[in-house]
Amino acid sequence: MTDDKPHIMLVEDESHLARGICFNLEEEGLRVSHFETAEGALATLEIEHFDLVILDVMLPGMDGFQACRAIRILDPRVPILMLTSRSEDSDRVEGLENGADDYLTKPFNLVEFLLRVKGMLRRSSWYRPEPVEEGYRFGDNEVFLLSYRARTAQGEIDLTEMEVRVLGLFFQKEGRPIHRTELLQSVWGYSSDTETRTLDNFIVRLRKYFEPNPSHPKHFQTVRAVGYRFSRDGN
């Protein structure tokens, strides 16, 4: 019998917290494999596929940031949710810079945690796969959403699941401002009243990949008091 439940990797050294997380995710019909160290998790990632990685920052041995970079080499696409123990902004930014797709600061609310996990597991349904993939071109870039890769001025890069979702939404709504609430809801599955810097840090990442001058963006534009707008030609 095949088990098609989404498979989640949890890397967390605090056993009581890990037990609680496993119990609640399993109650939601998900399959969880728990690892106490990043080293153990990475060894398993070499041979097994996961649908989501939940990664604690403070771990014995290799920490969550190092682990995140190593996971991205093994699996460039898998969504990664980091659990940060400090509320400092630098921790969140560092996680997102190392390839994570979202973060939650401990202690977190269980309902919020489950919403976040479900949002990240949800497959993108708003872009239609084409039989033969034609790249989406803008500036010096060409993006292949179906194969999760892009050609940029800096070379070829692999895209994560969450990056593909954000880019898909931007391309679909090219030239139109998109409210940050809509981006957070359709890409991350956030409830509308959540305050987060995830989106802004994510845009910083996209600008680094695709903009000739990331501090003066042409393509991924900020729309004050609204959110962001994608422009193909920089107008």
User: Shortest gap between Cβ of 49 and Ca ion (angstroms)?
Assistant: 25
**Applying CB under 5 A, which residues contact Ca ion?**
13, 56, 58
User: Shortest gap between Cβ of 105 and Ca ion (angstroms)?
Assistant: 13
Q: Which is nearer to Ca ion, 92 or 219 (CB)?
A: 92
Query: Tokens 């139109």 correspond to what residue?
Result: 176
User: Shortest gap between Cβ of 152 and Ca ion (angstroms)?
Assistant: 35
Q: Which is nearer to Ca ion, 6 or 95 (CB)?
A: 95
Q: Fill in the DSSP letter of residue 123.
A: P
User: Shortest gap between Cβ of 106 and Ca ion (angstroms)?
Assistant: 8
Q: Tell which phi-psi region holds residue 29, choosing left (phi > 0), alpha (psi between -120 and 50) or beta.
A: left
Sign (positive/negative) of CA torsion 127, 128, 133, 138?
A: negative
Q: Which is nearer to Ca ion, 13 or 142 (CB)?
A: 13
Q: Which is nearer to Ca ion, 35 or 50 (CB)?
A: 35
**Can you name the residues that pair with 5 across neighbouring β-strands?**
none
Residue of closest CB approach to Ca ion: 58
**Alpha helix segments (H runs only) across the chain:** 15-27, 38-45, 64-74, 89-97, 110-121, 161-172, 180-183, 198-210
